[in-house]
Amino acid sequence: MTELANLLGLSIYDPVFWMPLACMAAFFLLVLMGAILDGFDLGVALLLPFAGEHRNRLVGLLGPWRNINEFWLLLGIVFFMAIFPKAWAFIFSVLYWPMIMIALGVMLRNIAYEFRLRSSGKWRHFWTTMFFTGSLCMVLGQGWVLGKFAVNFQEEAGYDLFALLIALCVVALYALLGALWLVMRLGASQGPLQAMAIKWARRTVRLGAAGLFAVMAALGFSNTGIFYKWVLFDTLGVVLPGWLLILSLFVLIEILLRHAHKSDWLGRLPFMLLLLVIGLAVAGFAYSYFPFLVYDELSLWDSIDSVATLRLLVWGMAFVLPVMLVYFGWVYGDIFDKQR
C-alpha cells in the first residue's frame, strides 16, 4: 500500500489516497452482498419452470426478503455512479445491450412478483412466467457484463460470443445458488421438494464451476498485466492455492449433495461452501483488477470526481452504514434457518 501511495505521489494518510480505496471496499461489499442475497432469490426464480406444482411454494419462500432484495442493484448502480463517475461513463458506454437486458429484466422481475401476489388464476400463472423471464434477462445481462469485464471490453465477435457463453454459465451458477439455498431452507423433513432441489443443484454445479473457471482463465489470458500479476513468484503462492481451493470446494459441494438429505446440517453445508466460493471469486476478481476499474485505462484514483464529493459520501456512509447493517442483520437473520 505504501508503495502504491508513493507511486501516486501521495501519503497513505492522505484522503485523496484512502478515500477512493474505502469507497471501493464498500462498493465490493455491496456487490458481494447483492450477489449472495439477491443471488439466491434470482436462482430460485430461474428454477421455477422445473418446479411444476411447487412453483407457488418456491415463490412464497422468497417473500420475506423481496422488498429488500430489489434494492441491491439500485444501490450498487447509484453508489458506483456517485463515487466513480468516470469509470461509470466508460463502462456504461461500452455495455449497451447487456445493460438494456438488466434494465428490462429488473423491471419485469420486480413488477411481476408484486403483481403476482395480487392476481389469481391465469394472471397469477402469467406473472410467475414473467418473474422467471425477468430473472433470466437480469442474470444473462449480469453474466454478459462479467464476460465483457473478463475480456477487457474487447469488441470483436469472438469475444462477444465468449461473453455470451459466460452469461449462460452464470445462469447455471445462480441456479446452483438458488437450489442450494432451497436444499438448506427446506431441510431433510421436506423430502420431495428437497430431493428436487438436490437434483437441480447436481445438474448445475459443473456448469457453474466451468463458468467461473472460464471467467478466471479469460481474465488472465486476455489481460497480460493480470497474467503477470498471477504468475509472479510472490503472488503465485496465493493465486494457485486460491484456484485449487475453489476447485476443491466445487468438488466438495458435489460430494456433499449426495448426502444432503440425511441431516439438516449436511443440507446446510453446500450453501455455505458456495458462499465461500463466491466470496473468493469476488476477492480474486478485485485483486486481479486492482488498482484499476477499467484495466490499464482507469485506476480508482482516475475514476473519482473530486475528493470533496467523496468526503460527502464517506460521511453519509458513516451515518447510514451502521443503521443498514443492523437492519440487514434483523431482516436476513433467519435466511440460513430451516423453514418452520
Partner 1 sequence: MFEISPLLLAEWQFFGSLGFLSVFVAVLFASVWMLLFLKLAWHKTGQDAWIGVYRYWVRVFALAMVVSVAVTIPLMIQAGTLWPALLMKIAGVAGPLACLAILLAFVCKLIFLNGMLYRQGKIKERWHTGSVLMSALGVTGIIYLMLALQSWLNAPQGTMKTDSNIVVHDWLAIVLHHEIAWRLLLVFAGSSLCLGFMMMGVSAWQVRKRPLSQAESLAFRIGLVMALYGLAGFVLSVLFARDTLFVPFADNGWRNVWWAVILLLGIMVLVLAMLCYYLLGKKRDIGKTPVFLQKWCSIMTFSGWLLIVLTGALSYFRNLPYVVYKEIALQEVFRHLSTQTLVLSSLAYLVVYLLIAISFTQMFYQAARYGVVPVRKALGGAA
Beta-strand ranges (E) seen in the chain are 292-294, 298-299
- Distance (Å, rounded) from C-alpha 33 to C-alpha 53? 31
**What grid cell was written down for 129?**
412466467
Q: How many CB atoms lie within 10 A of CB 267?
A: 26
Q: How far is the CB of 294 from partner 1 (least distance, A)?
A: 12
- Distance (Å, rounded) from C-alpha 218 to C-alpha 221? 5
Q: Would you say 73 or 218 has its CB closer to partner 1? A: 73
Q: Which residues bind partner 1 (CB under 8 A)?
A: 60, 63-64, 66-68, 70-71, 73-75, 77-79, 81-83, 85-86, 88-93, 95-96, 99-100, 102-104, 106-108, 110-111, 114-115, 117-120, 305-306, 308-309, 312-313, 316, 320, 323-324, 327, 331
Q: How far is the CB of 320 from partner 1 (least distance, A)?
A: 5
**What grid cell was written down for 255?**
460430494
Q: Would you say 226 or 314 has its CB closer to partner 1? A: 314
Place of cell 468438488: 251
Q: How far is the CB of 18 from partner 1 (least distance, A)?
A: 19
Q: How far is the CB of 240 from partner 1 (least distance, A)?
A: 37
- Distance (Å, rounded) from C-alpha 267 to C-alpha 186? 9
Q: Would you say 79 or 287 has its CB closer to partner 1? A: 79
- Distance (Å, rounded) from C-alpha 302 to C-alpha 194? 49
The kind and range of the H/E element at 86 are helix 85-94
- Distance (Å, rounded) from C-alpha 286 to C-alpha 291? 9
Q: Would you say 67 or 224 has its CB closer to partner 1? A: 67
Q: Would you say 249 or 335 has its CB closer to partner 1? A: 335
Q: How far is the CB of 81 from partner 1 (least distance, A)?
A: 6
Q: Would you say 30 or 188 has its CB closer to partner 1? A: 30
Q: How far is the CB of 309 from partner 1 (least distance, A)?
A: 5
Please return the burial class of 162, using the count of CB atoms within 10 Å of its CB with bins 0-12, 13-18 and 19+: buried
